[in-house]
Structures are given as C-alpha cells and as structure tokens.
Amino acid sequence: MTLIQFFRLLNRNLNLFLLSSIALAVVTYMLTRNLPKSYDTEAQVFTGIASGINVGAVDNIKVDFLTSATEFDNLINTIKSRKTLEEVGMRLLVQHMMLDSAHPAYINEANWGHFRYKIPDSLEQELLDPYSVENTLRKVRRYKDKYWYDEKVKLTFESSGSPYSWKRIASIGVSRVQSSDLLKIFYSSDDPGIAQNTLLILIEVFTKNMALIKSGQSASVVEYFQRKVNEAAGELNEAEDRLQSFRIKNRVINYQEQTRSLTIEKERMEDEYQAEIAKRQAALAALKKLEEQLALNHVMIQLGNDVLNKKTELIELRAKIAELETYLNDADLLQKLRAKALLLEEQVRNMLSQRFSYSRTTEGIPVTTIIDSWLDATLALDAANARVAVFLERKEYFREQYDKYAPLGSQFARLERDIDIKEANYLELLNSLNQALLRQKGEMVSSGGQVVTQPPAFPHEPNPSKGTMLILVGAIVGFIVPFFFVVLKELLDSTIRTPERGESQTGLDLIGAYPELTARREVKNVDFEWLHEKAAALIAQNVRLEAKDRGSRQMAKNILVFSTRKSDGKQLTTHVIANELVSLNMRVLVMGPKDLPAGEKPYYDYITYKNDRDFVNTEHITELIPMGFDPLLYDYVFLILGAILTNPYPLNLLDQFNVSLCVTGAFRNWNRADATALDEFSDILEHKPRLLLNGVEPDYMSSVLGEIEKDRSWLRRFIKGILSLQLKTGSFGRGKKRNTKVVKGRL
C-alpha cells in the first residue's frame, strides 16, 4: 500500500472514523462527568541502603549498584505486599473506630457514613477496646479471619471501593528518587484525611516489617552458624582425644623423632653388619686356603696307614712263602706269591718316598707353621660368625620395629589429617559466625536507619479533573480502533482489485479496465462521466487493435467474451464496448444468453440465444444468427458465453473467433479453479485471451487511464503533489462535468 492509497483510504472512511470518535467521546463524558474528586499526598523516606553507614566497612564504603537495586526491590515489594496492605487497612479501620465522629483530619462526613454502615454499633462494641489500639487490632484481625465469608467482611476488606481493602491500598505508588537513597511513596484517595493517614500507617507498618524480616533472617543465620560451630568444636575435640589414646596405646611420644632415630640406628647397624660380613669372608677365604695347604697332612697320615697295611700284608705273604719253601713244594703258587711280595715291596718303597715328599708345602713351608696359621684363622672365623649372628638378631629387632611403626604411620597421619580438616572446618565456621554476627548488627543498624525526610502532607486542594483527558483519550481510541480495522481489512483483502494484480494472478495481458460505477456515494469527488467515457474508449480502441492483428478487413471481426464465473459483468462490458464502437460508425452485433435489462437501449443489434444442448453442438456462428441478420454486414460480432466453470460451451465454434476477452470482476479473488478453467479454455483457442477487468475502484483506474479527473481543493492538490513527489500542482485541476449517459449496475 502506497502513501497515496493510504490517504485515499483514510479520506474514504473519514466520516466513519469521526463518527466513532465522537460517539466514544460522548460515552466517556457521560460515564466520567460525576467522577469523585481525588486528593494526592506523598512522603519521602531515607533508606540508607547505598550511602548509609556500614558496620562491616566504617571507613571505606563501596557502593554495589546491583546489591543496592536488589535492596530497593525488596523494600518496594515489601511495601506493596498483600500482608503489609492488609495490615495498613486494619490499622486504618481501628483508627476510625477510635473516633466518636467524623473528623476532617482522619475521615470526612461522606466516608464516615460508609464506615458506620460497615461497622455498626453492635459490632463496634464487640471489637473496640477504647484504651488499647493493639487489643482492638487483634480483635479485628481475629474477627476477619473467623468471618471471612461474611458479606460485610468482604465488602470492607476485599472490595476495591473500600479504603480498608488491600486492593484499594494497592494503588499506592512507590519509586526510588533517581539514584539516591530516598524512596518516594504517594497515594490518592477521595478523602484527604484517609490519603494522609494511609501513608502514615504504611510507613510505620513497613518499617516494622522490614526490621522483623531482617532481624529474623540474620537471627536464623547466626543460630545456624552457632550450632555448626559447636558441632565442629565437638568433632575437633573427639579427633584430638582419639589421637591422644593412640599415642598412649602405642607408646608414641613423638612419631617423627622416633621413626627418624630408628632409621638412623638401622642404617648405622647395617654399615657395621656389612663390615663384619666382609671380615668373615676374608677369614673364610684365608681358612680355605690354609685348609687346602693342610690337606697334605691328611695324605701323609693316610700314606702311613697304607704303608703299615702293606707291611703287614708283606709280612704275612713272606710267612706263607717261607712256609711253602719249607713245608710245601708248589712252584706255581710260590712263584705267584714271590711276585706278589715283590710288588708289595715296591709299593711300600713308593709310599715311603711319597710320604717324605708331603712333609713340606709346595712353597717349601713346613707343615707345622701352616697348622699355627690355620688355628688363628679358625678362631677369627668363629669370632666373625658370632658377631654376624648378633647383627642378624639386631636386624630382626629393627624389622619388628619397622613392622610396628609402618602401619602406625598411616594411622597417625590419618588421625592428624582428620584433626587438620576438623580444625579448618571449625575455623571457617567460626569466621562465618563472626561475619553473621557482624551482618546482624549491620541489619539492625540499617533497619533502624529509615528516616521519614518528608512526611505525608494533608492535601487541601483536589487534583484537577481527568474528565477532559479521558474524553480526549476516548475520542482518540474511537478514531484509531475503526481505522485499525479498516487498514487491516485493506491489507488482508485477497481480491483482485487492481489491474496489476489481475495480470499477475490470471497470467493474461490487460486489454482494459472498467470502473465500479456504484461507488458514487463513497467517492463523490470523481467525475464518473469522464471516467466512463475514457475507460470505454480505451477498451474499444484496444479491441480494434487486437481484432486488426487477428483477422482480415474483408470479414467481420468475431470477438468472444467469456468469464470463469458468473456475475463478472460480461454483458455490461460488452454493452459498453459495443456502444462505443457504434459511436465510431461501426456496425456491431452482440449475441448473449439473456436479455438486456429493461430501460437499457442498445445502439447495436442484440440477439438472445438459448444456452442449451443445440448451442453446445453449434458448428458455425451463422447457426446462432436468425433469419434477417447477415453477419457479413457487421464490422464486429460479439458472442457472450456463460461462466465456463459452470456452463458447457461449443468447442467447435471457438476457432472462428479472432479475439477473446476474459472478463473478471476486480471485486472477487482468483483461485485455483479459475486458473484451471482458464488454462483448459485457452488450450482450445488458437490465440491467447486478453484480460478485461471489471468493477475496478476509481482510484485504481489511474494505472490504466493515467490521472483521474477529480474535484480537489488546493490543499488536497498540494498534499497529493507532496506524496507523489510532484511539487507542481497545477496539473491537478478540477474535472469538468459531462452530460453523457452512464450505464449503471452490473449486467
């Protein structure tokens, strides 16, 4: 939608918008003319949230804007909470119950009458304690909780019109004064005394509530940390007792020193043990060498024994030889014995010689000297073995000590680690307790630091009436709402409307457009006679050009007029085109399925045919022309078909037409059924149809005819020139009235 179209839409519906605006303004005036007077009062409270003294940082105050904003939000939400507002309402009621009559400083006469209606004398005697406000407040609170379903209780504490209702007091306003510590509270009421006292009571109530909330929170935190500190201290004592019992049970005075001393002694003993092992190995090696040398002595002893045995055997053998020589004469046996005796003698001589050679070592050392050294080495080896045995027993002792202290070390470390953890936990909790105590003290200081810097004043003058403003708002709303719906309807309109959308949706080239002539009442400044003449002339001219390209001059130009749906204006547009061609001295014949409306006088020949089975089977156009009409006498022959979506049409007749006009109403939409029907119909024709858009709004005819003749004031011409970026407005003149007859309606 362009700016020009937007302002045209506004101008077209301006009467509706103005009527709606005036009507809503009148209704607003009738509803607000008896509005009660309103009295405003406000108070300012210094909170000290951002710049107040802080117990935790007396010298250096750092402002945390996020924390300050949170504190202010908490304070404002506490003020506007239902509990606070209900408390204010009940205290205000008790204040009025303490009065004997209306008092301007507290309540005026009109509201006193409403108060007496809500709290009759019998109920007042039951609830009122003239000597104690708090007792009366407790009774009122108890009565409200007990009879919450009572109608008067609801009217008093729930109705938005009651000054004691939390819903009415909820209209109170609370805001922070810029970025300061000041909090502004304002309230409006029809009674100046009620407005002032409501704020006074509210300040008292929310100050007390904030103190209770902060002290309650801090007390809970302090109590929690105190309990946790006591638990941590008990756990630390238990851990230390376990470590003490462990030391006593295992006789451990100082585990680190004891294990260090044990390690040193073990290392020293290990060095001595290795030295003793070396000495023993040396003694063992020397003894081995001496024993190797003394091994010859054993050989000498063995040789001596062998010599004696041989000598004994030799003596016995000689005795036998002597006996044989003396008593027996056995030469063979004797010879054998003598040979054996000679062998034994030789063996004895060898043994004696060998024994003599073993009396000294290979080095020439006497065997007696070696025996003394062997004795000394043997004694040294025995001493070394004894000391090694002692060292082995000592090593077993150290092994037992290591086996004892190794598991004790891990247990001891676990016990000490447990004590360290519990001690760290205890110290952390103790620090948190100190912080909580400090925060509690700070909360007590800050909650008591709220100071009323500007108490609520008594409003003597009522506020200016808002009736004028409400009437103005009503008039604006009455104008905007229908304007919004009209614009929305315009934007959501899916009809063809404009020639451009007609070409885009149908896919046909535009041959012309005919305006919506019934829009005279809506568009009064358009010269419809001029618009009708120009549109008809342009369509007729384009039809002539199209027909000239399609056929020869010797035969009539057959023109087919059709539409996809009925009531698109085929007969109307054909009537206009035919009359325009007749005005150009053309002979025209029109054939249509129905008669012309009564009162319409055509300047052309018109024939009505029946849209029946015979028409569908027509082979030639002459079959539709009755006797007395010669088609060769006409320059143009128009055939109007019924809606091709719902009526059959003669297929064999379509190829006899030079030009086809698809008439479509701009007042309807184009859907898939139209497109399908048009595609199938176009396939049968030997040429592409042209689009004739009917019922176009006068403002959209400018895309076909150029500038539309209208009666415009100089202001409208100037505005149009601005919107269309044409600053020379002389071309936007007033249209001249024509006397040409205009065809009305859709045929």
Give me the percent of the chain exceeding a pLDDT of 70.
Answer: 75
CA nearest to 525, candidates 729, 723, 708: 708
pLDDT-derived band of residue 359, with 50, 70 and 90 as boundaries? low
Considering only residues 739 and 640, tell me which one the structure prediction assigns the higher pLDDT. 640
pLDDT confidence of residue 584: 92
What distance lies between CA 376 and its chain's CA centroid?
A: 99
Highest-pLDDT range among 44-58, 322-336, 577-591, 624-638:
577-591
Whether 602 shows a pLDDT value over 50: the answer reads yes
The stretch 399-419 carries a mean pLDDT of 70
For residues 662 and 692, is the Cβ–Cβ distance under 8 A?
Answer: yes
Model confidence pLDDT, tens digit, residues 18-72: 899 999 989 888 887 777 788 889 998 888 776 655 544 444 455 567 777 888 8
The stretch 603-628 carries a mean pLDDT of 88
What distance lies between CA 616 and its chain's CA centroid?
A: 68
pLDDT confidence of residue 537: 93
Residue type, 84: T
Considering only residues 539 and 257, tell me which one the structure prediction assigns the higher pLDDT. 539
- Exposed, middle or buried: residue 678 (CB in 10 Å: 0-12, 13-18, 19+)? buried
Q: Which helix (H) or strand (E) holds 289?
A: helix 255-326
Question: What is the spatial distance between Cα 474 and Cα 451, in angstroms, rounded to a whole number?
Answer: 43
Whether 158 shows a pLDDT value over 60: the answer reads yes
Model confidence pLDDT, tens digit, residues 190-227: 889 999 999 999 988 888 887 777 666 666 777 788 88
Whether 356 shows a pLDDT value over 70: the answer reads no
Q: Which helix (H) or strand (E) holds 538?
A: helix 528-550
Whether 370 shows a pLDDT value over 70: the answer reads no
CA nearest to 42, candidates 196, 179, 222, 203: 196
Range of lowest pLDDT (195-199, 287-291, 351-355, 491-495): 351-355
pLDDT confidence of residue 314: 72
**Torsion (CA) 340, 344, 345, 348 in degrees, nearest 10:** 170
The stretch 532-544 carries a mean pLDDT of 92
pLDDT-derived band of residue 519, with 50, 70 and 90 as boundaries? low
Q: How far apart are the first and last CA of the chain?
A: 31
Domains recognised in the chain with CATH numbers: 3-223 (no CATH), 255-424 (1.10.287), 494-731 (3.40.50.300)
Considering only residues 566 and 249, tell me which one the structure prediction assigns the higher pLDDT. 566
Model confidence pLDDT, tens digit, residues 375-397: 566 666 666 676 777 777 777 77
Range of lowest pLDDT (180-194, 447-461, 500-514, 575-589): 447-461
pLDDT-derived band of residue 736, with 50, 70 and 90 as boundaries? very low
pLDDT confidence of residue 463: 79
Range of lowest pLDDT (124-138, 189-203, 276-290, 614-628): 276-290
pLDDT-derived band of residue 229, with 50, 70 and 90 as boundaries? confident
